[in-house]
Structure 1
Amino acid sequence: MMRGPAFVTTALGRLGRLGGGVGLAPLRALGWPVLCGLGLLLVGALLLGLSQQLRLQKNTLQLELRQAQKPGPKAAASAVRGVPVIFPPSSDYTADLAQIFDIAKSQGIVLASGDYRDADPTALGLDTRLVDLRINENYGTLKEFLASVLNAMPHAAVQELRIERKDGTTVKHQVFLKLALVYSPRTAPAQGAQATARKTPASAPEAGGTKGMP
């Protein structure tokens, strides 16, 4: 009989110990070549199972990688040039002007006169409107008016405030106030539009739908 490789002898010895020595003789009767073939078949089966397991793990990792590389949810369609939608549309400008005058009227403030105009475009393309007001009031009333306007319109900001006091005896002062109303970028700006300054009576609405400032 041919003497088999050392590893086959060792494997048979271990198999015999596990089986209590029963059934080892019939295995040896098959011959070493047959036993080597059976061993190779077992090794091939183990490698095949391991290969399938590795393939499944690879597919799982590839799937997780593709999911991680998917882009996040798209921004809202109304967001222009990466600007988040936190500013109202410029179509609210007329209503905002009316609200400013309503707040002044409710507090007994007379807006003597004023100008309004478009500011220069910003890097983010925000639509900014400048509102220049002249008010003849005392400091306390002016402070209350500003607080009411800023609380009612979070997109409004005081860009300039100048108080002129003629003498120390007067209670009311000449106040020059410049407000900036910021709106979301225009989606289709008019061609050839230029920043202009206009002065109109406060109560006269314009044909274009924009209420005139005093």
Structure 2
Amino acid sequence: MTGKKNRIREIRQILRAQYPDVKTQLKHNNAFELLVATILSAQCTDRQVNAVVGPLFEKFKTPNDFAEADVKEIESLIRPTGFYKNKAKHIQNCARDLADRFNGRVPGNLEDLVSLPGVGRKTANVVLGAAFGIPGMVVDTHVARISRRLDMTRSKDPEKIEADLMTVIPKKEWNDFSLHLIFFGRQICKARKPECENCFLAHLCYSADKRT
């Protein structure tokens, strides 16, 4: 167990050195904009989301604006992010819920956030960390894949992965550690073609699909 703890400590230290200044890449000015942008980011790149949120938030600024909008207009503005019909429905229903139940304010706790339409634990933890400074372990596809490759979890269930990581990563590092793995996954530890030859964690990796 001590060996595993030391290995994870070294992984954390190396990631912090490689990515010393991490924050969400989604453009936003407040918690509500971040919530909408994170919903849009499902199965879509941050770059594509950032390309549409400018015109979107210029047209619709508050939960009430989205709640009262013609959903077709929302669809047309977010279409490049993919799955735009479902996303538009989720965003509008979420906005209506915020207006009806939370006086138009994004709640700052996990239980209330995940009660909103279209908001799962991943989205909630992104918002809690970036907008409220509340520690949360964001488990997206990068975090799920890399945490298994690094033998921090053996689960494929996001909620179980979240729980496993929270037991081995200090709470104050949860937000940054998630982002470290996301950045690392985009640049080096890719899903189909991990760049093991360029990987600064190769000596600490036990992955079965590690390239030799």
TM-score, length basis structure 2: 0.24
Q: Which has the higher strand share?
A: 1
Q: Which has the higher helix share?
A: 2
Which structure has the greater CA radius of gyration? 1
